[in-house]
Structure 1
Amino acid sequence: MRQPSLFQITSLTVSDISRYLRELMDSDEILRDVWIRGEISNLSQPSSGHIYFTLKDPSSALKCVIWKMNAARLPLMLQSGMAIEAHGTISIYERDGQYQLYVDAVRMSGEGALYQEFMRLKARLEAEGLFDAVRKRALPEMPQHIGIVTSPTGAALQDMLNRLHYAPVFTAHPTEARRRAVMEGVRRVFLICDQMYSPTLGVIDQRELEAELAAEIQVMWRTDELRSAKLEVRDEVRNGLYYVRESLFEAVPKAYEYFEKALRKHYGVNAEGVAPISVPSFIRFGSWIGGDRDGNPFVTADVTEWTVHRQMQQALDEYRERVLDLRKTLTHSSDWCTPSEPFLARLLEYEEEFGEQVFRGTAVQIYSREPYRRMAAMMMARLDANLSYVHQCLADVPSFTAHLAYENAAAFLDDLYLLRDSLISHGDRIVAMQDLQALIRLVESFGFHLLQLDIRQESTVHTRTVAAVLQQLDPDFDYIAAAEAERLQRLAAWIGRIAPIEVNDAALDDEAREALAVFRRMAKLKAEVGDDVFGTYVISMTHNASHVMEVMLLARLVGLCGHNGHAWFCRILVAPLFETVDDLQRSQAILDQLFSNKVYRSLVASDGNRQEVMLGYSDSCKDGGILASNWNLYQAQLSIIALTRRHGIECRLFHGRGGTVGRGGGPTHDAILSQPPGTVNGEIKFTEQGEMLYYKYSNPETANYEIGMGVTGLLKASATALAHCEVCYPQDYLDWMRDIAAAGETAYRALIGTPGFIDYFYESTPVTEIGLLNIGSRPSHRKKADRSLGSIRAIPWVFGWAQSRHTLPAWYGIGSALQGFIERQPDGLAHLQAMYREWPFFRSLLSNVQ
């Protein structure tokens, strides 16, 4: 045995040796491209969409993981005991020091096994006569309904559910004039009125409720409707959290419960009362409040960090309260039930590690015969430690995470799973699926971060910041004067640089220093809370591919992306926002230029081959009118999805819809169904702005309805993608719509280009007064005192016309365009009527305008 050297100066940490072993394995050509044969065991498919299992043979076992993006492409459904061959890369998971196979492809074990299975199925179906010519039917040109042919166990539907992603994103756009005190008063009135509909209400109870209602109304008469002071960003954050606290914490678990109830009704249940189809937690709420700094100088890096911690506090408070309820109700005695072995092992582990901190003095023996209550007490203590850390951060005092605290939401969720599975193991499924399951749904949907915070900034800020940074790094290169091709080449070189890049913040101006501080804060919070704390970095007014690469360079400077000497990595999802009509028309060319850039393509590949693209409804409508806006958005979606498929990239479209029709508003269900065929694919992300938060999410009842309608629309719109069939509308419809949109845009641009029209807007609408209202922290104009169409933001533009009862952005240009089409086109009216009946896009457009 070799003796350790007495003269070795330094020793390696566990992290050092794990990192060293990972780098050795990652550089090995065989381990980077290997097929391994074995039998599946310990199969786990959590709601995240990832798949975990062990591949074993008679003498050894290997841990395996399939990330969500690869899992969605599997040609077969994995089952324990199945013999397979798995392809992928073997590397080491540094945190646990265990090597595992990262699988990207799977096939049945043995030469031709999959083909033989297919041929057996084909022969059986042929014997049943299902392929006979007499059974063939011609497909209609315009199918009215599309169904999914699936197995009795709903395997195809399960595939569809596994890829669902429903993500409403709250914004603080200044269109909500109500104070939070007024909204809370209206909520109390709603609850009283709801009680008054009870058929069992007696006369005395009725009079008491009427008195309560009168009192609430009297208080509201004496309450200021409007704010006396301008909102700060932190006030807007609190307003956003009001809807989470008062509504979503109740509505989201209910939405899953109703979904599961519907599946049980249609697919039945097994002997244990479980449906053959499981519903993953696919609802993810996001927020721009505290992250959207485009045109809002008050959203600083400090404010963003405060927002993250304030959201964490809200989530942890709710989880602690619910665990407290579990501690009160799960009073099972060890004399009357036997918890599962994994649960007892975890409880023993906690007793040894945290017992003295949680149970002190005479409390040592508390719940000694009630294992679930004792576990709940442990979990509460751990959540309290997390809360203590968050409180220190909010108080802006030196803070550290106690050993007792949960490392992340996944660790807390693991305890909840153990608790649930243990209850089920001794016949208490009905208990496990009540309050405990509701809490599990909340943690799966909200984590510790609560709302995924998107960051948004305008592209010119990044351009000026990058120019200032490159002035230090590459003083001979004039970035501002450089052509687009030169910019992309230089940005790619710096992003791919392996050596450290040092920037002197003191030499930067205030704007560049703050822009870089945002990225540093993002890196810090991702390390502290987890990658899910932030959603997307949105670049408004994206006009060129370099605008995206600029953000990647700033992310590279703080370690969020780049090349570590062995492989590319990327921990930031960047979304270009195409807002104007011109940008929408150029979006495909811009993205194609990006995906053709080797550095950017490598970064996308390292992040799971996913790209998010945001489409702006408000500014495109202000720019070209409602017809041009809707048509160019429709065309842009088709071209973007076609492009990303050609490059082998999964694309999620982010719809920047406003509340009013002039800013892309309308019923969520119809809006999702009206999207171009093949562009939804199980995923939808959209903004919920200003006053729409109140209308949709102020009550759990309305929030439940809104989520249900939205998810239903998502399922319907995704059915064709699941069935691998394409819905194509007649080319005549597309050609006619192109001509109608062009005519509408011509009429709209002629109006807004009329000399003196902008002056008329300012004089005939209360837009100046709207800018003085205390309804938001964001200025109404991009440039102060600039009375131009380019300076005024889309919200006050639409708001001003609405308050003067013009509502011009929602309709101008449509009447003349439709009339012109009817006059020019033979049977024009009949064609429009057919388009309205058969084309959801056209029907939704006209219905919203009406």
Structure 2
Amino acid sequence: MTENQPAEPVTPAGPERDIALFATLLGEVLREHSRKRVLVVVERLRDGFLTLREHDDEALRGKLMKRIDGLDPQTLSEVIRAYTIYFSLANIAEEVHGFLQRRTTVSAGGRLWRGSFDHTLRQFAEEGVAAEALQTLFDRLAYLPVFTAHPTEAKRRTTLETQRRIFLLALDLHRHKLNQEEQQDRLGEILSEIQILWKTDEVRVHKPQVTDEVRQGLYFFHESLFHVLPQVYRNLERAVRRFYGHEAGIQVPSFIAFGSWIGGDRDGNPFVKPETTELAVRMHCELVLDEYLTRVGRLTRVLSHSSALCEPSPEFLDSLDADEDYWLGPMGQTQRRYFHEPYRRKLAIVSHRLRASLARVRARIDGVEHSAQMAEGYTDAQQLLDDLYLIRDSLISHGDANAADGPLKDLIRLVESFGFHLMRLDVRQESGRHTQAIVELFARQPGAPFYGAFSEEQKRLALAEAIAHPHPFHIDKATLTPETRETLEVFEVMARMRAEISEDVFGAYVISMTHSASHVLEVMLLARLAGLAGRTNGGTAGWFCNIRIAPLFETIEDLGQIDAVMSALFDNPTYAALLQASGNLQEVMLGYSDSCKDGGILSSAWNLYEAQEKIMALARRHGIDCRLFHGRGGTVGRGGGPTHEAILAQPDDTVHGQIKFTEQGEVLSYRYANPETALYELTMGISGLIKASRCVIEPPPPPRKDFLGIMAELARLGEEAYRELVCGTEGLMDYFYEVTPVDAIALLNIGSRPSHRKKRDRSLGSIRAIPWVFGWAQSRHTLPAWYGIGSAIERWRGSDVERLAKLQRMYQEWPFFRAILSNSQMALYKAEMHIAHEYLRLARDPARAEVLYNTIAEEYQRTVTQVLNVAGLLGLMAETPDLQVSLARRNTYLDPLNHVQIALLERYRQEGAAEEREQWLDPLLRSINAIAAGMRNTG
């Protein structure tokens, strides 16, 4: 920027002006701080491929590829980085615009958007939902996002912090009336931050450790969620008062809680050890205690009430007397400060006890002995809450309810939501590891039969008997294999951390690849050995169970037998008794990723739908509460899509006030990095939960059996088409590995977890769903999210006009079917078959690759045609024009990036000296990051 450059205020009409401004500033940075040719190359490639998009020209394409081929590795890296930063800046501009649009709508005082609390509660009131019924529904609510670390999120924490500063500066340009000098200052600051982005390497030098991923997850709490959560509750309370009034007395309980897999998910990740899990939960505790301590310090400055001017409640004064004993006893001193300021006096001891608790957990993290003073802290979050409730109730008693309703109430909301555990850490392991451990444990007992030879029924009997036995096994850990010893230690860590930090420190123990009821009972036996479950008082007083086990059904076959597996469990007297002892709530996890990889998007969606209905009906028959845990990924091929619509698309009478779902990869930064966006995303999800939970207070509408029948047939046809391609077409897996960058994805330092279950196994069963989806997206096929839909619709409807009309009614009236086709439209729009065709240059057998490509391209066109016909649209995403424009904007820069990636893959894969190939690896990895950022999807 120069001093005489005009500074024009940016209007909030749309993001285009901000994006153009950011692009100009980025150009300034490139001009001053990049290699000489970089800006010229960036602009000429962009303009050239934009021309190609308007009309294909083979000569121009060849000229552009020749330009790319002539670039050295460092120049290519800088060109790719320029495009990556552009995508980040475009995302920021769109996020700022979305927030400003919402603020403008709120300021206007009219009706708010669909999915807002205003819209939701207005609808409830207008449709006659009584206050008592609404309170019943609120009391059943549980909104549980679960953060996971998958090898998809490319942004470093440092980059997120810089982007946050740019977001705030851009917001400042809009929200304040700035004079020309002030505008110049802001623009100069934005330029400086873009320059910092340019000088910061967005690609990690080293593969992240699991502890790095834990810190990445904690970032969103410190920077966003601690601020946002109380505001979510305040907004909901306002909407309740607006439509039901103060006199209705409706109370909004604290029903939002967060979970995590980071540090607990060991399925296929050899780097997650028992000590990793231990460290993760202590890091959670450290962060949340530090936040409470900061907020108590602020409260101490605010609640300066004098005892000469107000009279605290008797209960509060009694607690101050008890505090005197605490000061004189463990501390050996008297509290001399705040003698006439009772609330400050109380908060001083709250602060002291929090500091002691924090010192204790930090000492354990550092592996040092903690002092006697550290034992003076709180033993659990309820003790802290009791002190805060005393302050709140006392303030209200002498007419200072408004003081109680400020920062104190916000702190209470946080403690009610986060306790001392912050997030409930789920532990996950593959079923085979447990079976391996149980086989070994049985084999070590004298005279015991070979467990591995048992039938399923015999296994259940043997496991139930061992669980009920006061001393099931004699175990000498030194004689066990390292794998079994580690499996046992995980449960021991769970028991120890529950005692050390909180009973709420763990969520569910998730068993991936659950194929039978014995897989669940095996985990229960391992928990029994660690003291997490069993009989109380030597078996005379019933059962206790301090673990919640969630079987994960993730393949098409497993989803199909979910009722048989769960029936065997519920009918098992031992398991039924333990379930009752743990609160009679069964959690069942549903896998979107592997089911889609296994059978295609239609079959996956339908089998998941049916599985939910089966398990909920089964639980009702057994008098058991059931919570469904949805393993959704970021992309459509892994269950992704807008949360509000996804919740409403669940089968009727399955969302009973509770929803638990994974938030994976890039979704975390898009939804939670900025408080302004996090507030919107949480609101949309919670309003969807409230709407979908009306079955709690009124009978749901009867199912449309005709719709269900049609969907079942479409799923069957879709699965046939998908399996014919993926399983029945020779060379498909070779095509995948050759014309996508999946081999390079495994080298990208963006996640601690391997991309394959088995090294060097290139089968469909070995590759994880994340790189499967990621690879197809990078090469612009996006195949997992749509393949088979076109064939299914075309075959079912034929040329029958009435059948088409029926499908159109399904789209308009059935949220489930609408969500499938809406999400597929986004995936189809992101696909670019002419770009995908360019990747065929990488195929070893071009002729066979061309045949496979034609099959995919034909299905693509078929799917576009059929989806548009059913939706009654002229173009993809016509119903979401803002998103359509956003994605189209990115194509200008994605097209050259894809061609750059093709050239880099050719060079990296060519035979020759390792040094020659390795020089192309850095720009290749950067191209993967850049395309992921541009598509706003990874895995």
Check conservation: 2:498, 2:505, Cα contact below 8 A: yes
User: Which segments of 5 or more consecutive residues in structure 2 lack a partner in the other structure?
Assistant: 1-121, 826-939
CA deviation after TM superposition for structure 1 residue 501, in Å: 4.0
Contact 1:153 1:276 in 2 (8 A): no
Q: CA deviation at 1:474?
A: 5.5
Shift of 1:352: 1.5
Q: Tell me if 1:577 matches 2:548.
A: no
Render the CA deviation track for 1:436-483: whole Å, top value 9, x for unaligned: 000000000000000110000000000001111111236431111211
- Does the Cα contact within 8 Å between 1:358 and 1:378 map onto a contact in 2? no
* Counterpart for residue 635 of structure 1: 610
Q: Which amino acid aligns with 1:265?
A: R
In the alignment, what sits opposite 2:707? 733
Shift of 1:531: 1.6
> When the two structures are superposed, what TM-score results if normalisation uses the length of structure 1?
0.81
Task: Work out which structure has the larger RCO, using CA pairs closer than 8 Å and 6 or more positions apart in sequence.
Answer: 2
Output the CA distance in 2 between the equivalents of 1:173 and 1:403.
38
Show the counterpart of 2:640: 665
Task: Please say if residues 168 and 685 of structure 1, whose CA atoms lie closer than 8 Å, have aligned partners that are also in contact.
Answer: yes
| Per-residue Cα deviation, 1:43-82 (whole angstroms, up to 9, x for no partner) | xxxxxxxxxxxxxxxxxxxxxxxxxxxxxxxxxxxxxxxx
Q: Distance in 1 between matches of 2:795 and 2:408?
A: 61
* Aligned counterpart, 1:307: 280
Query: What does residue 269 of structure 2 align with?
Result: 296
| Deviation per residue, 1:278-322 (Å, 9 max, x gap) | 100000110000000000011011000000100100000000000
User: Which residue of structure 1 lines up, in the alignment, with residue 193 of structure 2?
Assistant: 216
1:785 paired to 2:756: no
Report the counterpart of residue 364 of structure 2 in structure 1: 393
Distance 1:571 1:517 in 2: 16
Percent sequence identity over aligned pairs: 54
1:462 aligns with 2:434: yes
- Within the candidate set 406, 424, 428, 2:400 is matched to 428
Are the structure 2 counterparts of residues 826 and 732 from structure 1 closer, same or farther at C-alpha, using a change threshold of 3 Å?
farther
For residues 317-332 of structure 1, what are the structure 2 equivalents within 5 Å?
317-332=290-305
Provide Cα deviations, 1:235-276, integer angstroms capped at 9, x if missing partner. 000000000110100111110010011111112225xxxx61
SS state at 1:614 partner: strand
1:162-200 deviation digits (Å, cap 9, x = unpaired): 010000000001111111111111000001111111243
1:600 aligns with 2:575: yes
Report what 1:47 is aligned to: none
User: 1:512/1:824 Cα in 2 relative to 1: closer, same or farther (>3 Å)?
Assistant: farther
Q: Give the aligned partner of residue 165 of structure 1.
A: 142
Deviation readout 1:475-500 (Å, 9 max, x if unpaired): 43111121111111100100011246
State the match for 2:237 in structure 1.
Answer: 260
Residue 691 (str. 1) matches residue 662 (str. 2): no
Alignment of 1:465-476 (within 5 A): 465-473=437-445, 475-476=447-448
The DSSP-based 3-state class of the residue aligned with 1:827 is helix
Written as runs of structure 1 = structure 2, the 5 A alignment for 1:278-427 is: 278-355=251-328, 364-399=335-370, 402-427=374-399
Residue aligning to 2:175? 198
- Measured in 1, the distance between the counterparts of 2:823 and 2:370 equals 51
Question: How far apart are the structure 1 equivalents of 2:136 and 2:515?
Answer: 37
CA RMSD between the two structures? 1.7
Query: What letter matches 2:435 in structure 1?
Result: T
Mapping of residues 803-822 of structure 1, within 5 Å: 803-822=778-797
Q: Does 1:743 align with 2:714?
A: no
Match of 1:589, SS? helix
The Cα shift of 1:357 comes to 6.5
**1:672 Cα deviation after fit:** 0.2
**3-state SS of 1:381 partner:** helix
One of 178, 182, 185 as aligned partner of 2:159? 182
What is the aligned partner in structure 1 of residue 927 from structure 2? none
For residue 529 of structure 1, report the CA deviation from its aligned partner: 1.6
- Distance, in Å, in 2 between the alignment partners of 1:152 and 1:638 is 26
Contact kept, 8 Å, 2:357 with 2:375, in 1: the verdict is no
Q: Mark the CA change 1:780 to 1:400 in structure 2 (over 3 Å): closer, same or farther.
A: farther
**Which letter maps to 1:207?**
Q
Change beyond 3 A, Cα 1:558–1:400: farther
Task: Give the aligned partner of residue 104 of structure 1.
Answer: none
Matched letter for residue 312 of structure 1: C
Match of 2:111 in 1: none
| 3-state secondary structure, aligned to 2:576 | helix
Partner of 1:28: none
Q: 1:365 aligns to what SS in structure 2?
A: coil
Instruction: Give, in whole Å, the separation in 1 of the partners of 2:606 and 2:531.
Output: 40
Native 8 Å contact 1:354 1:404 kept in 2: no
Residue 603 (structure 1) shift: 0.7
Structure 2 contact 378–384 (Cα < 8 Å) conserved: yes
* Structure with the higher fraction of residues in strand conformation: 1
1:759 corresponds to 2:734: yes
Q: Give the 3-state SS of the residue equivalent to 2:561 in structure 1.
A: helix
- Aligned counterparts of 2:649 and 2:341: Cα–Cα separation in 1: 54
CA distance in 2, matches of 1:797, 1:161: 40
d(CA) in 2 for partners of 1:300 and 1:367?
48
Task: Write the letter of the residue equivalent to 1:741.
Answer: A
Contact preservation (8 Å) 1:146, 1:720: no
Name the stretch that deviates more: 628-637 or 492-501.
Answer: 492-501
What letter matches 1:291 in structure 2?
A: G
2:364 is aligned with what amino acid?
C
Matched, 1:770 2:741: no
Aligned length: 699
The farther-off stretch of 704-713 and 200-209 is 200-209
Give the corresponding residue for 2:250.
Answer: 277
Once the two structures are overlaid, the 10-residue window that deviates more, 696-705 or 348-357, is 348-357
User: How big is each residue's C-alpha offset from its partner over 1:220-239, in whole Å with a ceiling of 9 and x where there is no partner?
Assistant: 11111111110000000000
Work out the CA distance in 2 between the residues paired with 1:320 and 1:657.
Answer: 35
Q: Distance in 2 between matches of 1:192 and 1:822?
A: 53
Residues 507-586 of structure 1 correspond to what in structure 2 (within 5 A)?
Answer: 507-564=479-536, 565-586=540-561
- 2:445 and 2:194 mapped to 1: Cα distance? 64
Q: What is the rounded CA distance, in whole Å, between the counterparts of 2:701 and 2:299 in structure 1?
A: 49
Q: Is the 8 A contact 1:656 1:686 kept in 2?
A: yes
Unaligned runs of 5+ in 1: 1-144
Residue 152 of structure 1 deviates from its aligned partner by 9.6
Residue 340 of structure 1: CA displacement?
Answer: 0.8
Checking the alignment, whether the CA contact within 8 Å between 1:182 and 1:225 is kept in structure 2 is yes
CA contact (8 A) 1:519 1:555 kept: yes
CA–CA separation in structure 2 for the residues paired with 1:474 and 1:708:
58
